[in-house]
């Protein structure tokens, strides 16, 4: 079946709505191209890149058209090889998310990681005007000493990057940045710089002409001695960066506003954000200004954010950080934080990319008939650093799509729950692998195969939860037959519960 690339007005309107602050809703005819990190060139460059036969990443991105999305499974992405062993070398050519295309992982799963070492003046990933990248990690390193410029990701006008972790490692002689904005928006993401030599800024706005950047709920941190957490600049044009709910740290300055030539105007408007040091530098006849708004945590005595393990490069917010509930709640922040949790879980949105769930008060009552679903008075609901506990998973054992069913479960703490639905089919055992049944293997022992058909992510509270389900997932409807649902809870620190699974049947 030929691959269709719809380029409809509906798809364009859906993209515009996503950039305006709501979740992107693809057109009904949009195609999903599945990619996996372990596929090789052999057999992985054939459309339609179905879930049962995913393609390699570069091929899928080059094949995707307006309205399509490229769905990445978790894992480490590097260029495929012709043999059976996945290459360990990083990408040496830029990957491009074209206009109208969405590149994404699963918001509740471990981020898929793109490894890159691209030559000078090129990014690991370029998100073209009107493109979207979400729930993806990039680990980018300069290819060698003396290379002038490099980027983890370049975000063009009207492009969106959200819920992503992008890291750029500088080496001697390089000037680079994790998130290089030519325009567009970055939200609910980490932009990280590292390396002892060269420059490795966290986030920069470096577009030409009159341009406005939107930066919301971003953690921009660099440990590079010469670099800035967030930097906006221009030569002789007009550049404006609007930053809300950001954490910025950099040895040279946390926030930097620069103008290189006479007539240039660079402005950073920042509110409900956490930073300590700042600088404004302008050539004669230029204007560089930083305008603070309400709700900032700043200055030499500013409260210090608490990270999971900053020394190891882990900048997830941990419990007790002063940035929790200190941001401004706004639909433009996006629906989910980095890691898949709801963007606002406490009294207000957290500052930074993450959202830490408030612990339920001691004495939370349990659900009748579900042992251990409550929280005894006088004891913490979840020990610090403990993974969430998911119990009491239930689903109707046999139902029709018309009637639907209810999925029930209980959580020890508020968390994001990923519900993965797989189809059960009968296969044939070949060695240790259960293969699809064919005429060639029909005499072999029977086995049960499970094939992932789709996922649904829900934001759940501590205690009992219910989810109505009628067999419909985004872009796919489960067919009659046997299926399995697997539920996994992920908390704000990225800790995962033990998965729970149940089988069920959809009747005609």
The tens digit of pLDDT for each residue in 250-288 reads 999 999 999 999 999 999 999 999 999 999 999 999 999
Span 15-27, mean pLDDT?
38
Same domain, yes or no, for 206 and 328?
Answer: yes
CATH number at residue 179: 2.160.20
pLDDT band of residue 330 (cuts 50, 70, 90) is: very high
Same domain, yes or no, for 428 and 301?
Answer: no
Does position 377 have pLDDT exceeding 50, yes or no? no
**Which residue in 116, 127, 205 sits closest to 167, CA to CA?**
116
408: burial class by Cβ within 10 Å (0-12, 13-18, 19+)? middle
Same domain, yes or no, for 321 and 435?
Answer: no
Same domain, yes or no, for 394 and 282?
Answer: no
Cis amide linkage into residue 157, ω under 30° from 0: no
**Which residue in 493, 487, 425 sits closest to 457, CA to CA?**
487
Count Cβ neighbours within 10 Å for each residue of 81-119 and write b for 16 or more, e otherwise: eeeeebeeebbeebbbbbbbbbbbbbbbbbbbbbbbbbe
Beta strand 211-222 with 175-181 is unpaired
Is residue 77 one of the residues assigned to a domain?
no
CATH number at residue 400: 2.60.40.10
Residue, of 267 and 399, whose pLDDT is higher? 267
Domain final residue, candidates 298, 333, 368: 333
Same domain, yes or no, for 298 and 411?
Answer: no
Whole-number pLDDT of residue 251: 95
Q: Are 145 and 28 in contact (CB under 8 A)?
A: no
Distance in angstroms (rounded) separating the CA atoms of residues 236 and 220: 26
Same domain, yes or no, for 301 and 202?
Answer: yes
Domain final residue, candidates 285, 308, 333: 333
Q: Which two tokens stand for residue 257?
A: 């506003």
Whole-number pLDDT of residue 440: 84
Element (H, E) at 62: helix 57-63
Q: Are 371 and 353 in contact (CB under 8 A)?
A: no
CA distances in angstroms from 77 to 69, 114, 507, listed in the order given? 17, 5, 39
pLDDT band of residue 23 (cuts 50, 70, 90) is: very low
Same domain, yes or no, for 143 and 224?
Answer: yes
Distance in angstroms (rounded) separating the CA atoms of residues 339 and 333: 14
Residue 336 DSSP label: B
Residue, of 98 and 42, whose pLDDT is higher? 98
Whole-number pLDDT of residue 385: 56
Domain final residue, candidates 288, 313, 333: 333
> Is the whole-model pTM more than 0.75?
no
Element (H, E) at 199: strand 199-205
Count Cβ neighbours within 10 Å for each residue of 460-483 and write b for 16 or more, e otherwise: bebbbbebebebeeeeeebeeebb
Is residue 493 one of the residues assigned to a domain?
yes
Distance in angstroms (rounded) separating the CA atoms of residues 170 and 476: 43
Indicate the number of domains in the chain. Answer: 2
Is residue 252 one of the residues assigned to a domain?
yes
Q: Are 393 and 408 in contact (CB under 8 A)?
A: yes
Whole-number pLDDT of residue 4: 41
Residue keyed to tokens 């033990």 = 498
Is residue 3 one of the residues assigned to a domain?
no
φ, ψ for residue 312 (rounded to 5)? Answer: -100, 10
Please enumerate in sequence order all residues whose Cβ is within 8 A of that of 116, keeping only pairs 6 or more positions apart, or say none. 90, 91, 92, 95, 124, 125, 138, 139, 140, 141, 152
Distance in angstroms (rounded) separating the CA atoms of residues 109 and 37: 15
Q: Which two tokens stand for residue 154?
A: 């370049």
Whole-number pLDDT of residue 87: 57
Task: Compute the residue count for the chain.
Answer: 508
Q: Are 179 and 189 in contact (CB under 8 A)?
A: yes
Full residue range of the structural domain in which residue 459 is found: 390-507
- Backbone region of residue 245 per phi and psi (left: phi > 0; alpha: psi in -120 to 50; beta: other values): left
Same domain, yes or no, for 162 and 283?
Answer: yes
Q: Are 386 and 395 in contact (CB under 8 A)?
A: no
Same domain, yes or no, for 186 and 276?
Answer: yes
Same domain, yes or no, for 130 and 219?
Answer: yes
Does position 84 have pLDDT exceeding 90, yes or no? no
Tell me: the pLDDT tens digits for 405-437? 999 998 888 888 989 898 888 888 887 778 888
Distance in angstroms (rounded) separating the CA atoms of residues 420 and 486: 5
Count Cβ neighbours within 10 Å for each residue of 45-67 and write b for 16 or more, e otherwise: beebbebeebbbbbbbbebbbbb
Same domain, yes or no, for 326 and 408?
Answer: no
Percent of the chain clearing pLDDT 90 (strictly above): 49
Same domain, yes or no, for 325 and 400?
Answer: no
Q: Is 395 in a helix, a strand, or coil?
A: coil
Whole-number pLDDT of residue 305: 95
Tell me how many degrees the CA angle 109-112-114 measures, rounded to the nearest 5: 165
């Amino acid at each position: 079946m030929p691959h269709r690339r719809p380029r409809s007005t509906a798809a364009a309107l859906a993209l515009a709505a996503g950039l305006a602050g709501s979740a992107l809703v693809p057109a009904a005819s949009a195609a999903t191209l599945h990619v996996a990190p372990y596929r090789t060139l052999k057999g992985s460059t054939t459309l339609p890149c179905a879930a049962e036969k995913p393609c390699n990443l570069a091929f899928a991105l080059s094949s995707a058209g307006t309205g399509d999305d490229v769905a990445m499974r978790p894992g480490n992405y590097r260029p495929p090889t012709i043999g059976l062993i996945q290459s360990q070398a990083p990408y040496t050519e830029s990957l491009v998310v074209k206009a109208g295309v969405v590149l994404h992982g699963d918001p509740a799963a471990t981020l898929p990681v793109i490894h890159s070492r691209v030559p000078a003046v090129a990014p690991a990933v370029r998100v073209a005007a009107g493109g979207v990248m979400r729930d993806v990690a990039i680990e980018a390193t300069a290819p060698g000493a003396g290379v002038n410029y490099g980027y983890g990701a370049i975000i063009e006008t009207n492009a969106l990057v959200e819920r992503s972790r992008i890291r750029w490692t500088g080496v001697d002689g390089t000037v680079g940045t994790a998130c290089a904005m030519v325009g567009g928006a970055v939200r609910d993401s980490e932009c990280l710089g590292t390396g002892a030599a060269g420059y490795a800024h966290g986030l920069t706005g470096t577009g030409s002409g009159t341009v406005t950047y939107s930066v919301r709920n971003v953690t921009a941190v660099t440990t590079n001695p010469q670099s800035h957490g967030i930097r906006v600049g221009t030569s002789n044009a007009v550049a404006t960066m609007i930053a809300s709910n950001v954490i910025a740290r950099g040895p040279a300055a946390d926030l930097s506003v620069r103008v290189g030539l006479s007539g240039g105007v660079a402005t950073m408007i920042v509110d409900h954000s956490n930073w300590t040091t700042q600088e404004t530098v302008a050539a004669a006849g230029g204007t560089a200004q930083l305008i603070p708004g309400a709700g900032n945590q700043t200055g030499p005595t500013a409260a210090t954010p608490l990270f999971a393990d900053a020394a190891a490069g882990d900048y997830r917010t941990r419990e007790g950080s002063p940035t929790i509930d200190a941001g401004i709640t706004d639909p433009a922040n996006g629906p989910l934080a980095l890691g898949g949790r709801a963007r606002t879980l406490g009294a207000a949105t957290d500052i930074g990319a993450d959202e830490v769930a408030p612990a339920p008060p001691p004495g939370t009552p349990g659900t009748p008939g579900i042992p251990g679903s409550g929280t005894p008075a006088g004891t913490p609901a979840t020990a610090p650093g403990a993974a969430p506990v998911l119990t009491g998973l239930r689903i109707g054992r046999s139902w029709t799509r018309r009637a639907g069913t209810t999925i029930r479960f209980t959580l020890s703490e508020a968390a994001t729950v990923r519900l993965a639905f797989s189809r059960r089919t009968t296969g044939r055992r070949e060695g240790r692998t259960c293969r699809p049944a064919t005429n060639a293997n029909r005499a072999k022992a029977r086995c049960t195969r499970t094939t992932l058909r789709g996922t649904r992510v829900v934001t759940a509270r501590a205690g009992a939860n219910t989810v109505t389900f009628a067999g419909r997932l985004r872009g796919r409807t489960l067919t009659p037959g046997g299926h399995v649902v697997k539920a996994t809870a992920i908390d704000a620190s990225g800790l995962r519960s033990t998965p729970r699974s149940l089988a069920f049947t959809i009747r005609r």
